[in-house]
Amino acid sequence: MSLSKALSSDGKILTIQIKGKFDFNLVQLFRQAYADIGNSTDKVEIDLRETDYMDSSALGMLLNMKKTLGSSVDSIRISNCQPQLKKILQISRFDKKFDID
């Protein structure tokens, strides 16, 4: 499991990519990934293309991020979900809080 982050060249989009398991072991890294977000960043994208597992602590981390960033960003998008992860997010009603694709 690993986490990487990248800022778009114009600084508007922060992408956080998670590989492997998205679980409690990533709490600190995940928090640090968005902690120093700048005022020019409008969107945050959580890229789950290489994520094969997600537990309840991952859901908590996503909610915590949304609460922490509040209105400082326009949108938070969870992208490239595997079918089993998308199902977890929908059952948890995260499709009402985040843009999911």
Backbone angles phi, psi at 97, to 5 degrees: -105, -25
- Express each pLDDT in 54-99 by its tens digit: 999 999 999 999 999 988 999 999 999 999 999 999 999 999 999 9
Averaged pLDDT score across all residues of the chain: 95
> Global pTM?
0.95
CB atoms within 10 A of CB 85: 19
Q: Which CATH entry fits the domain spanning 2-100: 3.40.1410.10, 3.30.750.24, 3.40.449.10, 3.40.309.10? A: 3.30.750.24
Return the domain boundaries, the chain.
2-100
Q: Give CA–CA dist 86/48, Å, rounded.
A: 10
Asked if residue 38 has pLDDT above 90, the reply is no
